[in-house]
């Protein structure tokens, strides 16, 4: 049993490492493809990969028709709406700032739970939310307290946070019905279908540069196989074992990994305000989650 628990936590950490890198890979792909085309191709790659894995190893399970509506709702939240908001948010901001805003998902989740699931919001939740929000604000400003991030990009990213909370509620129901691999596979298929008409429409107004394949094929494949397939499966596994509140705490690690990898790869410098902002976001989130864990004892 102990080994099983370790596997759950390892799965959560690995998923966060991959998603931390996803902000970097996405930024690299967006130099040639628009976000809509990127997400569509990412889902196509993930679907092909998943279908092969499930059927080759006989891991596929039957999906009941009565549950298709729940899958459709979950896929509407994520990948469809979430990836649209995150994609256009990242196109107008930096990977570190984007990951820091997305890392607020664990703290917004309890607010939604208090509204829709009638769960009480503790004082520590509120304190954590304020600290994390201030941390994001610090990252968005320079030394002269002037905003250095695109307002449009920030708005898109905050919308992604709200959509992700809706997805968590849907996922909580699906994990009680199906295995993590099945959930992720169906989520990618339905999401890909959602993106077909949107990609056709967007390409007419914002055509992508598909010609420079060598410049974006590696990060695109990483997004499809690692981020949309492997990481989502690991996340669904951790989510099914830990529940929404305990699993979401791992999202605190995303901006940390994004900042570290951005610095190592020479993509973005870690200025003092960004380091301080990341610390505030992570501390606020962990502070809140630790309080909730103590309440269960």
Rg for the chain (alpha carbons), in Å? 19
**Would you put residue 147 in left (φ > 0), alpha (ψ -120 to 50) or beta?**
beta
Closest listed residue to residue 157, CA positions, set 91, 227, 226: 91
Per-residue pLDDT band at 6 (split at 50, 70, 90): confident
Q: Give the pair of three-digit tokens for residue 118.
A: 């009638």
Residue boundaries of the structural domains of the chain: 2-296
Does the model's pTM come out above 0.85?
no
| pLDDT tens digits, one per residue of 20-49 | 999 899 999 999 999 999 999 999 999 999
Q: How far is 117 from 110, CA to CA, in rounded Å?
A: 9
| pLDDT tens digits, one per residue of 132-170 | 778 777 877 776 666 667 888 889 999 999 998 888 778
Q: Give the pair of three-digit tokens for residue 25.
A: 């890979």
Closest listed residue to residue 237, CA positions, set 245, 247, 228, 227: 247
Q: Is the pLDDT of residue 195 over 80?
A: yes
| 97 or 44: which leads in pLDDT | 44
**Would you put residue 226 in left (φ > 0), alpha (ψ -120 to 50) or beta?**
alpha
């Amino acid at each position: 049993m102990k080994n099983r628990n370790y596997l759950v936590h390892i799965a959560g950490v690995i998923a966060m490492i991959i998603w931390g890198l996803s902000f970097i890979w996405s930024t690299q792909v967006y130099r040639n493809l628009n976000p809509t085309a990127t997400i569509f191709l990412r889902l196509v790659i993930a679907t092909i990969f998943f279908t092969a894995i499930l059927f080759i190893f006989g891991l596929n399970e039957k999906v009941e028709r009565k549950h298709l509506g729940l899958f459709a709702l979950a896929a509407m939240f994520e990948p469809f709406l979430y990836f649209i908001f995150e994609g256009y948010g990242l196109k107008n901001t930096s990977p570190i700032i984007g990951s820091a805003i997305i890392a607020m998902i664990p703290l917004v989740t309890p607010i939604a739970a208090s509204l829709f699931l009638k769960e009480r919001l503790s004082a520590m939740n509120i304190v954590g939310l304020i600290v994390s929000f201030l941390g994001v604000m610090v990252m968005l400003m320079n030394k002269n307290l002037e905003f250095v991030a695109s307002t449009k990009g920030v708005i898109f990213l905050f919308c992604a946070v709200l959509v992700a909370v809706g997805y968590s509620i849907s996922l909580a129901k699906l994990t009680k019905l199906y295995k993590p691999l099945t959930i992720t596979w169906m989520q990618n298929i339905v999401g890909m279908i959602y993106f077909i008409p949107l990609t056709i429409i967007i390409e007419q107004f914002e055509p992508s540069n598909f010609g420079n394949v060598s410049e974006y094929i590696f990060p695109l494949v990483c997004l499809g196989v690692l981020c949309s397939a492997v990481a989502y499966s690991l996340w669904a596994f951790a989510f099914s074992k830990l529940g929404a509140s305990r699993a979401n705490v791992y999202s605190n690690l995303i901006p940390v990994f994004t900042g570290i990898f951005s610095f190592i790869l020479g993509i973005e410098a870690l200025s003092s305000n960004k380091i301080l902002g990341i610390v505030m976001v992570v501390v606020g989130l962990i502070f809140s989650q630790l309080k909730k864990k103590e309440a269960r004892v």
